[in-house]
Structure 1
């Protein structure tokens, strides 16, 4: 008996770094691999994307393929988590952090092959103040940096935009005074950077922790250094080397839920999958195995 055709749709964010130039190629590659796309959407805003995806779900679409950067994928996951529909990922952004956590090829042809002919699995998502996220929630330097980068700069420079702009942001950054509460412990600290991670990767190719994965039903929470900038720099270097879980310069813990309060006298910028907007207090939790997604055959979340 022939297999029942998969009801699929494709949504591409035209503002993603490579979205506008690759939409026709993406459609052609998917159709060539046997997917009969019921709809192809070109969008310019998260709100438009969410509306069209909900419409596709009502129509009975089973596999929603999303092309864009991490912000686009994060909003898509907010629509699809808990529905049973399957998300396919085409990495068209600058860092493509979530694609790395899924072990996907970062080229369009390779990713299209996985989306059309790979395996289905369930992965964790995070939830912060009611909003779903995929990669991480961050306070401090990286949030200030995310807020300083416009779409054109990220499109032109890609991952290079972060270190090039980061030097200027770091010079004027002041430490945050935060209270962190989990079921296991409560502590206060002054730091330039706090990260709460769901996936294996946090920013492009930088891992949350050596054994982190998108299927471990936990969040990695870590503060890099103290109030002095040199300690932040040294702790960040430990992080890049994968040493931060045991570093004396880093507060590190694993948990299922965490609350973060800002005790500073000034607002604390928060980035969620690279998008700035929220303010503390933050209630963050992991939602285990909430999202169905396409992954390469033999996918291991802790080895992606």
Structure 2
């Protein structure tokens, strides 16, 4: 069968940092590479889910999604445990998941991977039944994510984080948390907890040297011990490549003390008291570079 109903669907979040500007060029580049598509602009991640479910129902081998990490996380929630592969056009601010699976951040490079690459199965993280691709964070970074605005992210890109962070830091207080995993129970008084699924978190920053979207593990990182100076020391060491990894585990439960706390899930903020985190191993099929090994990237 041929025709528009069977063409590969290209969903682009027009509210992502480069979505509106990139859609015409993406359609042209894909056609030039031999892959005509049906472009479907959407205004926010949720509106893409109906289209994606229809593609899964008809057994589509591929859908292409353009947007940031939030858009891709919502897509993963529909595509996980299906035969439909995800082609990525990284059009957001950090494009963290694209980095973790080796997809170039430029449009032509991403199109090349979609057309000429191969399909690999990667892990999807789960938070209280909600999928995530990169990380779940409590503490300072969640408060920063809550304070970011779309206009500021478009204008400053990754620089928006330190700009907002300096303001948030003045009012930030440490968290009291209890972590339970196969490794045991850990009580923490800390400014920042990060649970990573992939190699990268927050754009180009690496979670830990051996973190991977294909290792069936979550990597738990703790920044600081309740004093701001320890937070700054841990953050500085981390950016220099010295990880603050506490442990890796296939599942972990985090209990906050003192009420619900803000939690950033791939950059989208919600409030939680109990966080049940796990791995849906090899659940999502993604177009990646030929020969790419997510466990060693």
Same fold per superposition (TM over 0.5)? yes
Q: What is the number of equivalent residue pairs in this alignment? A: 292
Residues 246-261 of structure 1 aligned to structure 2 (within 5 Å)? 252-261=246-255
Does structure 2 retain, via aligned residues, the 8 Å contact 1:9–1:61?
Answer: no
Structure 1 residue 96 corresponds to structure 2 residue 89? no
Cα distance in 2, alignment partners of residues 280 and 71 from structure 1: 22
Does structure 1 retain, via aligned residues, the 8 Å contact 2:197–2:217?
Answer: yes
**In structure 2, what is the equivalent of residue 119 of structure 1?**
118
Cα distance in 1, alignment partners of residues 16 and 147 from structure 2: 17
**In structure 1, what is the equivalent of residue 29 of structure 2?**
29
Does structure 2 retain, via aligned residues, the 8 Å contact 1:124–1:216?
Answer: yes
Secondary structure at 2:261 match in 1:
coil
Which contiguous aligned blocks of 4+ residues in structure 1 show a shift greater than 4 angstroms?
A: none
Structure 1 residue 303: Cα displacement: 4.2
**In structure 2, what is the equivalent of residue 237 of structure 1?**
236
Secondary structure at 1:244 match in 2:
coil
**In structure 2, what is the equivalent of residue 80 of structure 1?**
79
Cα distance in 2, alignment partners of residues 302 and 290 from structure 1: 15
Secondary structure at 1:16 match in 2:
coil
Structure 1 residue 294 corresponds to structure 2 residue 294? no
Residues 198-217 of structure 1 aligned to structure 2 (within 5 Å)? 198-217=197-216
**In structure 1, what is the equivalent of residue 142 of structure 2?**
143
Secondary structure at 1:277 match in 2:
strand
Q: Deviations over 1:262-283 (max 9, x none)?
A: 01x2431100000001412010
**In structure 2, what is the equivalent of residue 53 of structure 1?**
52
Cα distance in 2, alignment partners of residues 290 and 219 from structure 1: 15
Structure 1 residue 7: Cα displacement: 5.2
Secondary structure at 1:292 match in 2:
strand
**In structure 1, what is the equivalent of residue 256 of structure 2?**
262
Structure 1 residue 108: Cα displacement: 0.4
Does structure 2 retain, via aligned residues, the 8 Å contact 1:141–1:169?
Answer: yes
Secondary structure at 1:166 match in 2:
helix
Aligned-residue CA RMSD (Å): 1.3
**In structure 2, what is the equivalent of residue 3 of structure 1?**
none
Secondary structure at 1:188 match in 2:
strand
Cα distance in 2, alignment partners of residues 190 and 128 from structure 1: 22
Secondary structure at 2:24 match in 1:
helix
Structure 1 residue 31: Cα displacement: 1.4
Q: Deviations over 1:143-179 (max 9, x none)?
A: 0000000111111110000011111111110000000
Secondary structure at 2:272 match in 1:
coil
TM-score w.r.t. length of structure 1 = 0.93
Cα distance in 1, alignment partners of residues 9 and 161 from structure 2: 33
Structure 1 residue 302: Cα displacement: 3.7
- Structure 2: gaps of 5 or more residues: 1-5
**In structure 1, what is the equivalent of residue 3 of structure 2?**
none
Cα distance in 1, alignment partners of residues 115 and 63 from structure 2: 11
Structure 1 residue 36: Cα displacement: 3.2
Secondary structure at 2:293 match in 1:
coil
Structure 1 residue 243: Cα displacement: 1.6
Cα distance in 2, alignment partners of residues 178 and 261 from structure 1: 6
**In structure 1, what is the equivalent of residue 66 of structure 2?**
67
Does structure 1 retain, via aligned residues, the 8 Å contact 2:178–2:256?
Answer: yes
Cα distance in 1, alignment partners of residues 104 and 45 from structure 2: 24
- Structure 1: gaps of 5 or more residues: 1-5, 246-250
Does structure 2 retain, via aligned residues, the 8 Å contact 1:218–1:255?
Answer: yes
